[in-house]
Structure 1
Amino acid sequence: MAIPNKKKLGTKLLFYSLINVLIPIMLFGFVVTDTLNNILDDKAQSEVTTGISSLEQAINLKITEISITSNYITTTPGIIKGINERDKEELLLRINHFKSVSDADFVGIIDKDGKLITSTANDVNFEIEEISKELFKNNIESSFEVISSDTAYLIDNTSKIEGVDKALSIVVLKPIFDDNNQYIGSIIAIDILNNNFHMINDVKKITGSDATLFLGNKRITTSITHDGKKQVGTEVSSLVWDYIQTGNDYKGTTEVLGVSYITIYRPIYNSKNELIGMMFVGSPQTYAAVAKNEIKEKIIIIAILCILLSVITSTYSNYRIKKPIMDLKRGTEEFGKGNYEYKTNIKSGDELELLSNSFDKMAEKIAISNKELEKRALELEEKNTELKKLDDLKSDLIAIVSHEIRTPLTSIKGYVELVLDEAVGKINNSQRKCLTTARENVVRLNRLISSMLDLSKLAKGELEMHREEINIKKTIDEVIDDLKPISAEKNINITLEIDDIIINADKDRMKQVFINLIENAIKFSPENEIIEIKGKEEYHGDVSITVKDNGEGIPKDKLEKVFDRFYQADLSPKRKGKGTGLGLAVCKSIIQAHGGSIWVKSEIGKGCTFYIVLPKNIDN
């Protein structure tokens, strides 16, 4: 049987299983991806840090090579002799050999006065002499220095870069001493770094990262190419250059000529400790991005496989879980059809098997109980039929007896009234009192018979209600007028607060109800009291009426019984013999026959309040 508008258990189990798989996979994927991304970023940053160290080592190696060669040549007799004799030819021969061995771009000999004796390049005396004096003064043997592009071009004609009017160079200065250890001059070697791609390319081969040297904020040598051209002469971003001017390394991700790089920039200073440029090593993020994408793809594939495996295992598990549940469901359906002999026979080895066994045992017990109930129901039906017959017989007997008694009572009442009227002769006061008592008892007995007949007809549904549109206020007014003689005897004032409300009801029966209620209120109220009758139309269309007295009241434990037949809530000897115990039972039957309800609230010493609710229209 289909379950309309409800999620089936299998769907729920599959959904929860997938949730249980997806959440850990998503968390795992997020943690792994984030961790690997951080590792890759750290690795890339570590690589560029290693790369910048490699670039520094390459530069230092170049300086070391030149320094070692310089140390050797400064001790050769030919150099010392050439300086002392100012033999330019001998010195030039020596320094050209030194230039070829050290791979320096420029080599020169300077005397002890700082004047250039000879060099491997012409017309560079002044600028070279100034640099040597600065280094000698500060006792610096090697440093980065900036020279003019013209001087650089005279030294190395490949150093020209468009838009760059200076050159960055490595300068090595070594003092020369004679045999008496007297300073006689210096040898200066310069390597121009503009367009010097050897070191840069070596670093890229070793580390796999791009490298660049800057003069100021402009690239003078780089491994970065665009359309096959080295990107010398281009500028670094102002963000990086501004940061480098603080004297710190710049690390992080930045755009280099439109490509995102993981980078490190390190400042370069001259012998005066002035910032003259910087070195750069960077790795394009495309490599890291490719690695990250590969990781993501693998994680996605693993996640999909896990989900598929979860769907398969969940489907199988759901089947194993659902089957005994469906067997139990089938058992409940058979149980609902009255087939208590059906057995679920679930052998799952778990709590469902225990539940199945309990269900089967319950079915057996219910089957036994059901048979017993059917037997008792049959017995009750037979007894109920007998009781109904007896009740019908009782009602018929009451009707017959009441009818037979009413005729002689009417005759007795007539004769008593004739005697009281002295139609058959004079009577004395004692006789009048006895006859008056007899007449009152005849009236009471007649009322009892009428009530018994009414109850009998109401019980059998034979009491006819002659409904018509009546003014409930006027109807109650008529009852109050009828009862004025007995209310006046106790000086009881009856107040009525109700609008002119029209209802559809049997007027005589309504008067019968209110006569009973008001007469009881008068009967059980002390002298000089007030009986309040109020009524109103409720918002839902019903009419509510209350009759409140200030009598002795009724105990709470007896309130439910006051509408029972022949019941009297006697509180004192004064009330004995005052009623038949049928009046309120008749009232309740009449009100219910009109589709209404009646109840009472009371407290000892505070009187009673009877509540009546009636529908305005017969349709209600």
Structure 2
Amino acid sequence: MKFGTALSFVCVGISLLLVTKMRKGKIALGHIGLPILGLIIIMFLSVNTTSVIIGTNLSLTMLFEDSPISTINTISPSRPSLGALVNFTIIVIALMLMLTDFARWRKLVRGIGITVGMIGGIALAGYAFNLHFLYWDFENVSNAMALHTGILFLIAGISLILIGNDKNNPVITGSHQIKTRLISLFLTISIIPIIFLGIITYILIRDFEVIRPFGYGFAIISIIATITAGFFVYVITMQIVRPITNLRDTALAITNGNFDVKAETSTVDEIGQLSKTFNGMIDSIKMATALQLETEKLKQVDKDKEEFAAMVSHELKTPLIPISGYAELFLDGSLGNITEIQREKMQVMYENSIRLTTLIQDILDARKIELKRLNLDIQVESIKEIAKRCIDIFRPIAESKGIRLVDETQDIAIKCDPDRILQVLNNVVSNAMKFVPAQDGTISINSRNDKDEVMISIKDNGIGIPKSKQDDLFKKFYQVDKSLTRKSGGTGLGLAISRGIIEAHGGKIWVESEENQGAAVHFTIQKGNGK
């Protein structure tokens, strides 16, 4: 076996060992060693083939000869085995494919293993049946493949087949590829040419005169070695540059507003991981953009609903105003005398028109509070004045039911929208009147100074509120006792609106109650300057 062929088989064996290590997760050495070993094999094949083409013996075997180099170089070299050239070339291709992306090229690696094994097996069959052409013995074209060479190729082919067939234990390329590729790039550029030039220098030192008749041969071999090294450098460089370029192009497309692009994730190195992360970011941006569009649509829907509600409320309230107004004129006798039956019917019409007007206003207020668009006309007003107005409103109804209304407030100035605070008091007192006993009910309004705030409390001696229902008391449309509400009316919006009004003032509202022991609703309002 020639020295170059033997050393090539050593490189193949070491490469397969490194592949085995990579299958166990030890990837760094494989990324550095496989390109170098493959390059060495290709260089040996190039030197051997070129020496045949130019008719000179420049094989590395001369390093171990004792005869003068000038004598050795006059010997015409034998032609290399065609089968060996093909096998070594495709073995190097298989090693590079495993290095780049084993999962993608696994079947091709297996096919190369089959090819290598078949070429070696055919040579062995030629020896077994004494058929020269089967072991690649073609006159003036290819020397016969040695028996031991065929055996080694058969072993190498079987090894590649086993590697390509193993799905459960693939070659791990890992996340260190960029670093190791750069190391391979450096070694390819520096170490291999240095070794080659060192060999040529050694030959020249032994017999300087040999360079004269074979100068062109050395030049051609140097060019081939440079081209081979340059090819490896190009391949390794493109493996690094191409995914980065693709990632850049993807980023530019996104900058231009194209969110349908995706970065290539064919590699499994750091750039491949970055590409996957980048694609995830694109998906997140698309989701955020879609969510933003949906949010804008919902905002427009809310705006349309608000405008529709305002329009409907205006159209509903407009006819209710003259209806309630004329009914009131009939009831107070301004439009002449009416019979008792007419008065009774007119009273029903008047009360229901007022109730419908209040209901429409409550719905509008609840919607404004939900959208945080409740307008407040902040003034400094005495809580006692507001409480007096509330009691004056409910006094006729309370007296008719035998319910006592008590004003225990102090003349304390608060900073508020007086009409809205009156609305809160009305809602709470109206709610309390439904649950206090007739002829013996009491509802009181009192106030108390508390640093920079004033706490207002509305207390009653009604049936109280169970603890289990107190947390839901200020929710929209919630009613503690629906049977009582159906008898006395109500939508369940009063306390929810009251909470929205108080929170819009920067205060808080809560309830304290024991079942069958009455209830107390408290809220706080900022103290004003003045009274």
TM-score class, shorter: 0.3 to 0.5
TM-score (norm 1): 0.37
Q: Which has the higher helix share?
A: 2
Q: Which has the higher strand share?
A: 1
